[in-house]
Structure 1
Amino acid sequence: MTAVASIRTIVLECSAPEPLAQFWSAVLDRPIVNRDDDWWDLEPSPGGPRMAFQVSPGYEPPAWPGTSGEQQSHLDLEVDDLETARARVLELGARQLSEVIDESEDDGVWQVFADPAGHPFCLVT
């Protein structure tokens, strides 16, 4: 089967792109390469998609855990050491949303956080 498309950009909506871009720039170690009033971009990883942050008037963060469809998406970030990564994202401004979860050896161990604008993401080993 031939792909119809590839991921070009992952866009997170927010009320203010600057602090969100700074947070994700530090978490992913990717420099900010575009700064507009309502759209900021990180440099993509080699061969990977861009990550961008767009102003959305009236932005409300999704609820976690979503009970009636509020959460639309989240990012899973693979890490070597969950405790080290946890400490760093909290230092950068993340908010912890769950305790460590270890439901299956196949899926690894993970923990759920929210970025400064409230987008959920998981750190996964």
Structure 2
Amino acid sequence: MIGRLFSLVVDCPDPSALARFYEGLLSLPRVLDSEEYVVLRSPSGSETVTFQRVADFRPPRWPDPARPSQMHLDVLVDDLDVAEPKVLALGATLLEGSDKPIGYRVYADPVGHPFSLVTAESVAIGQ
């Protein structure tokens, strides 16, 4: 095992408004509320959904490959430097612009879907 699912991240124009919808749908309490991010998390911590503001958001149209869905996984790992070669060996690509910031790195899966490896350090910053 390389890591554990930490969060499903949803791109949107207004994190608070979209989080309000999912609070009602999923009965998950809001644990972080800022202009840029809203995080819903179950009391056990096992389910997390994060809503992040995206400038110039264009909503997805399904099934329209020109306007695909805009979500990504955050995968919790103990050590980025240990996990990175493992995900690269599986076929991931470190995305340009992911200049290895402290606590997280962004990759693409073999067909281009983005996902992030995150550490407890970055999770603590976002709580």
TM-score, normalised to structure 2's length?
A: 0.50
1:50 and 1:72 map into 2 onto residues whose CA distance is: 18
The CA RMSD measured in Å over matched residues stands at 2.0
Deviation at 1:69, TM superposition (A): 5.0
Which has the larger helix fraction?
A: 2
Who is 2:36 aligned against?
38
Contact 1:44 1:51 in 2 (8 A): no
Aligned to 1:27: 25
CA distance in 2, matches of 1:71, 1:45: 31
Q: Is the partner of 1:8 in helix, strand or coil?
A: strand
Q: Cα distance, 1:45 vs. partner?
A: 5.8
Of residues 38, 52, 67, the one that matches 1:54 is 52
Structure 2, gaps ≥5 residues long: 72-127
In the alignment of these two chains, the number of paired residues is: 71
Give the Cα–Cα distance (whole angstroms) in 1 for the partners of residues 47 and 66 of structure 2.
26
Determine helix, strand or coil for the equivalent of 1:22: helix
> What's the CA shift for 1:47?
5.6
1:59-70 to 2 correspondence within 5 Å?
Answer: 59-66=57-64, 68=65, 70=67
Q: Distance in 2 between matches of 1:71 and 1:43?
A: 26
Instruction: Quote how far apart the aligned CAs of 1:73 are.
Output: 6.1
Q: 2:15 aligns with which of 14, 17, 24?
A: 17
1:78 matched residue in structure 2: none
Deviation at 1:70, TM superposition (A): 2.8
Identity within the alignment, %: 24
Q: Distance in 2 between matches of 1:34 and 1:23?
A: 15
